[in-house]
C-alpha cells in the first residue's frame, strides 16, 4: 500500500515517504497510543512475515528463525510460533537468551515455546540445506558495528546458500544511511513494517535488501499525519517518474522553440569533446527548444557532424562566450571542461552572467579548489556531483561522505545555496529544504558519460520552465528510467548514448506502454 504523502512544503510529486528510524519508532508509539496494543502490532508483523515465507518458499524446510534480543527478535518468535501451530518444521536460533527478553518480545518467545518450538542458543550452526531462514536478529535500532557473536551468525547464514527473508531490515544495515555496519545479511527478500526506512534505498542497501515488500500493519492513515512538523526532518520523498511527468503535463499545442528554452552547454576542452556532445544531445532529446555548445574551435566540425541539430560555437576566450551567455536560458557547465586555464576562464565568465546554472564534473572540481568563485553568481544553482566530487566540495574523504549521503547532500545544498543531486546507488537530492530519493537506475550506468547525459536532461527541464528543484527531481527519474530501458539489452557494455536514445519515449510517457 502507499503511505500518505509527506507533510513537507513541496509540490514535487512523490509516491512514498521514506523515514528515519526515530520517525518509525514515533509512528509505532503513536499507533500504540491510539489503542493498538504493542503485542498486536508484533503479531501482525509476524503473521505477514510467515505468510510471505509460505507464499515465496512453500517447498523449503525446515524454517530456521534467527532471533536477536529486541522487538525484531520478537517478530521472529511470532513467525516461529505460527509455523509450529501450522504443523511445519521450525526451530529458533537464539542470539540472545530468551530469559533476558522483556515486554512484547518476551510474550512472543513464550508463545513460541508454548507452541512447541525448539529454541536453541546459536553456537556456530549453519542453516540446514533446503531450509529457509528468517532474519530477525538486528532491527532499525542498530547504530554501531555488528558485535562479534551476531557477525558470526550473519556470516553463517550468508555462506549457507539458502533463501533468506529479512524482517524489517537486513541485520547489519543502517536503516538511516544504507551503510553496512561491518557485515550484513544478504537477503533474498526484505519485509519492512509501518514506515519504509530511507536506508533501504541507497548506498549498500541494493546489495543486501533483495526484493523489498512493505506492510503498514493496518495502522490507520491518520497516524502518519500526526508526526509533528519538527519530527519530519530527515524524511525523504521517494520520487515517481510517472507522477512527476503527469504533474508536468503535455506540451501546449501552440508551443514553439522560443518557449521551450535555450540550453547552453559549456565544455569540451582538448580531448574531451564527447562529454559536451553527450550533454548537449541529451538536452535536445529532453525537449529544449534550442541547444548551443560552447567548446574548443577544433571540435565544432565534429560536433555538428554528430548532431546537426546543435549550434556549436568555438570559443577561445571569455569574450567569445559573452554573446552566447546573453541568449541562454540556462547554462550547463562542466562536461569535459577540464581544470586548466581555458576551463577556469569559461567558468568565471559563465558565473558573471548570473543565469540559472548547472555545475557538473570539472566545474565542481574547480569550485572545490576555489569556493569563493560562487560569490560572484546571483542566479539559481544546481550541483550534480558524484561521491568523489562531493567529497572534494566538502573537503572530506569519500568514505566519510558516503557514510551518510542524506546529511552530505543537505549540508552541500545549504553551503552552496543550491539544489544538490548526489549521484550513486540510490540518488539523493536536497532541494528547497527537502530531501528526495530516486531509486531507479542500474549497474550498467557505471560507464563514462552518464553524468554528462544527466546534466543535459536537467538543463533542458530548467529551460522549459521547471523550477530547479523540480528539474533536478524529474531529471534524475527520467535519466534512471531511460537507463533501465536501455539495460534491457544488457547492463555490461551499455553506453551513455544508449540512454540518450531512450529519453524521448520516457519523457513523452511511451515507455510505460511498452
| 336 annotated to bind ligand | yes
Domain limit, last residue, from 231, 246, 276: 231
| 429 annotated to bind ligand | no
Q: Are residues 53 and 127 in the same domain?
A: yes
| 210 annotated to bind ligand | no
Mean per-residue pLDDT for 240-253?
A: 92
* Residue 509: pLDDT band with limits 50, 70, 90: confident
pLDDT tens sequence across 342-360:
999 999 999 999 999 999 9
pLDDT tens sequence across 467-486:
999 999 999 999 999 999 99
Q: Are residues 387 and 314 in the same domain?
A: yes
Q: Please give the distance of CA 201 from its chain centroid, rounded to a whole number.
A: 5
* Residue 246: pLDDT band with limits 50, 70, 90: very high
* Residue 170: pLDDT band with limits 50, 70, 90: very high
The count of structural domains within the chain is 2
* Residue 6: pLDDT band with limits 50, 70, 90: very low
pLDDT at 7 over 60: no
Strand-pairing partners, residue 330, are: 263
Which of 204, 176, 206 lies closest to 442, judged by CA?
206
| 142 annotated to bind ligand | yes
| 141 annotated to bind ligand | yes
pLDDT at 11 over 90: no
| 366 annotated to bind ligand | no
Q: Are residues 326 and 181 in the same domain?
A: no
| 388 annotated to bind ligand | no
Is 390 within a domain?
yes
| 150 annotated to bind ligand | yes
Q: Are residues 164 and 299 in the same domain?
A: no
Torsion, Cα 245 485 304 508, to 10 degrees, reads -30
| 213 annotated to bind ligand | no
| 202 annotated to bind ligand | no
Q: Which of helix, strand or coil describes residue 390?
A: helix
Pairing status of strand 262-266 against strand 330-333: parallel
State the residue range of the domain holding 358.
Answer: 258-508
CA distance 384 to 430: 11
Q: Are residues 307 and 410 in the same domain?
A: yes
| 71 annotated to bind ligand | yes
Q: Are residues 222 and 135 in the same domain?
A: yes
| 449 annotated to bind ligand | no
| CB-CB contact of 256 with 289 (8 Å) | yes
Task: Tell me the pLDDT of the chain averaged across its residues.
Answer: 95
What CATH number corresponds to the domain at position 503?
A: 3.40.1190.20
Q: Are residues 83 and 146 in the same domain?
A: yes
Sequence-separated (6 or more) residues with CB below 8 Å from residue 169: 139, 140, 175, 190, 192, 197, 199, 200
| 275 annotated to bind ligand | yes
| 144 annotated to bind ligand | yes
Backbone angles phi, psi at 172, to 5 degrees: 100, -10
pLDDT tens sequence across 85-102:
999 999 999 999 999 999
Cis peptide before 457 (omega within 30 of 0): no
Cα–Cα distance list, 346 to 6, 20, 291, 485 (Å): 41, 42, 18, 35
Neighbours of 455 (CB within 10 A): 34
Q: Which of helix, strand or coil describes residue 333?
A: strand
Mind spelling out the 3-state secondary structure of 240-252?
CHHHHHHHHCCCC
CA distance 409 to 433: 11
Q: Are residues 89 and 31 in the same domain?
A: yes
| 360 annotated to bind ligand | no
Is 72 within a domain?
yes
Is 11 within a domain?
no
| 143 annotated to bind ligand | yes
Q: Are residues 303 and 443 in the same domain?
A: yes
| 393 annotated to bind ligand | no
Q: Which of helix, strand or coil describes residue 421?
A: strand
**What are the DSSP calls for 161-205, one per residue?**
T--EEEESS-TTB-TTT--B-S-----SEEEEESSEEGGGSSGGG
Sequence-separated (6 or more) residues with CB below 8 Å from residue 282: 452, 453, 454, 455, 456, 457, 460, 499, 500, 503
* Residue 9: pLDDT band with limits 50, 70, 90: very low
Backbone angles phi, psi at 429, to 5 degrees: -125, 130
Is 1 within a domain?
no
Sequence-separated (6 or more) residues with CB below 8 Å from residue 332: 263, 264, 265, 266, 267, 279, 283, 357, 358, 360, 455, 456, 458, 459
Amino acid at each position: 500500500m502507499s503511505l500518505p504523502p509527506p507533510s513537507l512544503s513541496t509540490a514535487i510529486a512523490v509516491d512514498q515517504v521514506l523515514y528515519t528510524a526515530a520517525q518509525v519508532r514515533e509512528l509505532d508509539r503513536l499507533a500504540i497510543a491510539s489503542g493498538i496494543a504493542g503485542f498486536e502490532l508484533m503479531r501482525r508483523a509476524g503473521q505477514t512475515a510467515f505468510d510471505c515465507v509460505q507464499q515465496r518458499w512453500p517447498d523449503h524446510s525446515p524454517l530456521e528463525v534467527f532471533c536477536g534480543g529486541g522487538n525484531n527478535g520478537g517478530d521472529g518468535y511470532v513467525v516461529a510460533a505460527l509455523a509450529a501451530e501450522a504443523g511445519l518444521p521450525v526451530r529458533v536460533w537464539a542470539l540472545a537468551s530468551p530469559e533476558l527478553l522483556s515486554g512484547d518480545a518476551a510474550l512472543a518467545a513464550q508463545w513460541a515455546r508454548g507452541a512447541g518450538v525448539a529454541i536453541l542458543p546459536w553456537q556456530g550452526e549453519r542453516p540446514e540445506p533446503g531450509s529457509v531462514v528468517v532474519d530477525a536478529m538486528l532491527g532499525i535500532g542498530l547504530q554501531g558495528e555488528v558485535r562479534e557473536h551476531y557477525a558470526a551468525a550473519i556470516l553463517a547464514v550468508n555462506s549457507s546458500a539458502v533463501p533468506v527473508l529479512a524482517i524489517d531490515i537486513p541485520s547489519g544495515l543502517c536503516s538511516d544511511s544504507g551503510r553496512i555496519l561491518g557485515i550484513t545479511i544478504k537477503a533474498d527478500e526484505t519485509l519492512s513494517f509501518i514506515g519504509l526506512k530511507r536506508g533501504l534505498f541507497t548506498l549498500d542497501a541494493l546489495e543486501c535488501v533483495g526484493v523489498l515488500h512493505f506492510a503498514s500493519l493496518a495502522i490507520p492513515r491518520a497516524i502518519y499525519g500526526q508526526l509533528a512538523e519538527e519530527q519530519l526532518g530527515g524524511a525523504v520523498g521517494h520520487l515517481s517518474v510517472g507522477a512527476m511527468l503527469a504533474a508536468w503535463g503535455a506540451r501546449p499545442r501552440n508551443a514553439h522553440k522560443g518557449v521551450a528554452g535555450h540550453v547552453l552547454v559549456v565544455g569540451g576542452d582538448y580531448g574531451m569533446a564527447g562529454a559536451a556532445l553527450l550533454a548537449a544531445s541529451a538536452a535536445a532529446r529532453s525537449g529544449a527548444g534550442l541547444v548551443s555548445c560552447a567548446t574548443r574551435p577544433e571540435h565544432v566540425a565534429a560536433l555538428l557532424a554528430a548532431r546537426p541539430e546543435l549550434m556549436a560555437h568555438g570559443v577561445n576566450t571569455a569574450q567569445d562566450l559573452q554573446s552566447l551567455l546573453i541568449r541562454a536560458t540556462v547554462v550547463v557547465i562542466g562536461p569535459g571542461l577540464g581544470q586548466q586555464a581555458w576551463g577556469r576562464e569559461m567558468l568565471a565568465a559563465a558565473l558573471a552572467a548570473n543565469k540559472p546554472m548547472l555545475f557538473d564534473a570539472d566545474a565542481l572540481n574547480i569550485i572545490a579548489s576555489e569556493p569563493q568563485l560562487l560569490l560572484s553568481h546571483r542566479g539559481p544553482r544546481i550541483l550534480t556531483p558524484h561521491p568523489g566530487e562531493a567529497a572534494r566540495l566538502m573537503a572530506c574523504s569519500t568514505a566519510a561522505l558516503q557514510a551518510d549521503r542524506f546529511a552530505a547532500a543537505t549540508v552541500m545544498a545549504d553551503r552552496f545555496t543550491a539544489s544538490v543531486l548526489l549521484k550513486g546507488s540510490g540518488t539523493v537530492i536536497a532541494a528547497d529544504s527537502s530531501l528526495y530519493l530516486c531509486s531507479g537506475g542500474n549497474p550498467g550506468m557505471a560507464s563514462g558519460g552518464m553524468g554528462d547525459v544527466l546534466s543535459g536532461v536537467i538543463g533542458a527541464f530548467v529551460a522549459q520552465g521547471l523550477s530547479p528543484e523540480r528539474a533536478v527531481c524529474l531529471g534524475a527519474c527520467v535519466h534512471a528510467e531511460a537507463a533501465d530501458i536501455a539495460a534491457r539489452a544488457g547492463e555490461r557494455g551499455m553506453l551513455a548514448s544508449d540512454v540518450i536514445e531512450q529519453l524521448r519515449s520516457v519523457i513523452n510517457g511511451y515507455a510505460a506502454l511498452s
